[in-house]
Amino acid sequence: MAAETADAGARPRALAARAVAGVIDQGQSLDAALAAWPSDLSGADLALARMMAYGTLRDYRRLGALLAPRLKKTPQPVLDALLRVGLFQLEATRVPAHAAVHATVAATKSLKLSKARGLVNAVLRGHQREPVRLGDEAAVGVMHSYPDWLVERIAADWGAAATEVLAAGNDRAPMHLRVNRRRTTRDAMLAEWRTADLSASPMTVCADGATLAAPVAAERLPGFAEGRVSIQDGAAQIAADLLAAHDGQRVLDACAAPGNKSAHLCERADIALTALDIDAGRLATLEATLARLGLSATTRVGDAAEPAAWWNGEPFDRILLDAPCSGTGVIRRHPDIKWLRRATDIDTAAVRQRRLLEALWPTLAHGGRLVYATCSILAAEGDDIVQDFVAATPDASALDPAPLVGQPTAFGQRIAPGAHDLDGFYYAVLVRE
């Protein structure tokens, strides 16, 4: 039997370790790290490498705590990542233990860590024989693998529900789809997927939404290329319900890229949509999305906080402000967020969110409606922003949320990650007198 057997499994482990180190050590986003993977990686190896990179980042801090007692000194970043990838397999996957150890040890070769071969082998075999177990006294941030500052903020905002919120951020996210009601119906799409042996079910909280039982790549999803369906979390689909734009209205999507919410608004009604974004490259993605779905909008590159540069003075009947945020509501889809964000980022984001709201308000027609949204679960980026704004703006008031999908807050609603199977989100609906 050939000796390189394990090398076939070494590659996905090496790539997963590199991606994890890219996030932790170089501050790369996981998406960027994955984009650097070689294009010939496919099928089972790609799935395995992704599963290990995501899983290791979800469980990163706890894995470190399991690892620490077996190490005399801090390993260099890539070795540290490989050890955690190895432990993750032993802890949380159905990869047979000896295969996990063997392939992870073999991964040292392509990572130029051959000198650490023995160490990787000893640590993983040691854990296999006699796993370190964390006692009840271990910190919440270790057990659930979050940085302490984020645990504190979530605890302050969510109280008794905080543990559930932390745990939900470590679950694997479902694949949610949005049916383009201009081209087909949800029932017709469900039937089409059934014919293709894909198991999908309608979402109760989203009129256009469906959940796919097992994820499928976009290019192999029946209806995607033909523009009958898009991939979008259900929590984001609620924006269109709350905005309730009608035929003929002038609508602004202020931070529009990559364009899923813009597209949904155009699918729902014959509106004159201006899709604005500060990033020209990401706006090109939006244009491609609209083209795929057979929709059109006026696209503008510009900073939503500086309307003088892009606004012609005609007020909008509806504005969607899906403000840039910490992304703490979508940690289950982007586990790297836990390790890339700093406590100070929240304050910086809040300053920007307040400025956006203030700058856009004058562009809203009297009697018009603005939906403020973030995929953050922190009050500092949600209700606190709206509270301050409403207090300082005489002609602004918050409507009772309808539909109410999450929990009502003083000024809007918040959706806990995992509630109704959705991403964590915040929404407020403001009207101008």
Partner 1 sequence: MAILEILHFPDPRLREVTEPITVFDEALSRFIDDMFETMYDAPGVGLAATQVGDIRRVAVMDCSEDKNERIVMCNPRILWSEDEEVVDEGCLSVPEHYDRVTRATRLAFAAQDRDGSEYEMEVEGLLAQCVQHELAHLDGGLYIDKLSRLKRERIRRKMAKNAKRQDEA
| Enzyme catalytic residues | 375
CB 73 to partner 1: min, Å: 23
95 or 293: whose CB is closer to partner 1?
95
6 or 67: whose CB is closer to partner 1?
6
Residue 408 binds partner 1, judged by CB under 8 A: no
Residue 1 binds partner 1, judged by CB under 8 A: yes
> How far is it, in rounded angstroms, from Cα 268 to Cα 304?
24
118 or 408: whose CB is closer to partner 1?
118
CB 118 to partner 1: min, Å: 8
309: buried, middle or exposed (CB in 10 Å: 19+, 13-18, 0-12)?
Answer: exposed
Q: Which residues contact 59 (CB under 8 A, 6 or more apart)?
A: 84, 88, 91, 92, 145, 170
102 or 127: whose CB is closer to partner 1?
102
5 or 26: whose CB is closer to partner 1?
5
Stretch that binds partner 1, among 92-100, 151-159, 240-248, 383-391 (CB under 8 A): 92-100
44 or 214: whose CB is closer to partner 1?
44
Q: Pick from 5, 201, 397, 407 the residue near partner 1 by CB under 8 A.
A: 5
Stretch that binds partner 1, among 80-88, 94-102, 129-137, 149-157 (CB under 8 A): 94-102
Residue 114 binds partner 1, judged by CB under 8 A: no
CB 216 to partner 1: min, Å: 22
Q: Give me the amino acid identity at 234.
A: G
Restricting to residues 7-46, name those near partner 1 by CB under 8 A: 7-9, 44
Restricting to residues 217-256, name those near partner 1 by CB under 8 A: none
- State the alpha helices, DSSP H only, in 130-279: 140-143, 148-158, 162-168, 186-195, 234-243, 260-268
CB 172 to partner 1: min, Å: 22
CB 1 to partner 1: min, Å: 4
> How far is it, in rounded angstroms, from Cα 290 to Cα 66?
47
> How far is it, in rounded angstroms, from Cα 299 to Cα 277?
8
CB 360 within 8 A of CB 235: no
CB 44 to partner 1: min, Å: 8
> How far is it, in rounded angstroms, from Cα 175 to Cα 418?
13
86 or 327: whose CB is closer to partner 1?
86
Q: Which residues contact 119 (CB under 8 A, 6 or more apart)?
A: 75, 79
Q: Which residues contact 123 (CB under 8 A, 6 or more apart)?
A: 67, 70, 71, 83, 86, 87
Residue 124 binds partner 1, judged by CB under 8 A: no
Q: Pick from 98, 194, 220, 246 the residue near partner 1 by CB under 8 A.
A: 98
60: helix, coil or strand?
A: helix
Residue 179 binds partner 1, judged by CB under 8 A: no
| Cis ω for the linkage preceding 174 (within 30 of 0) | no
Residue 397 binds partner 1, judged by CB under 8 A: no
> How far is it, in rounded angstroms, from Cα 383 to Cα 408?
10
> How far is it, in rounded angstroms, from Cα 166 to Cα 258?
27
Stretch that binds partner 1, among 17-25, 116-124, 336-344, 381-389 (CB under 8 A): 116-124
Q: Pick from 84, 102, 318, 432 the residue near partner 1 by CB under 8 A.
A: 102
Paired with 251 in beta bridges are 273, 318
> How far is it, in rounded angstroms, from Cα 276 to Cα 255?
6
Residues of this chain that bind partner 1 (CB under 8 A): 1-9, 44, 96, 98-99, 102-103, 117-118, 121
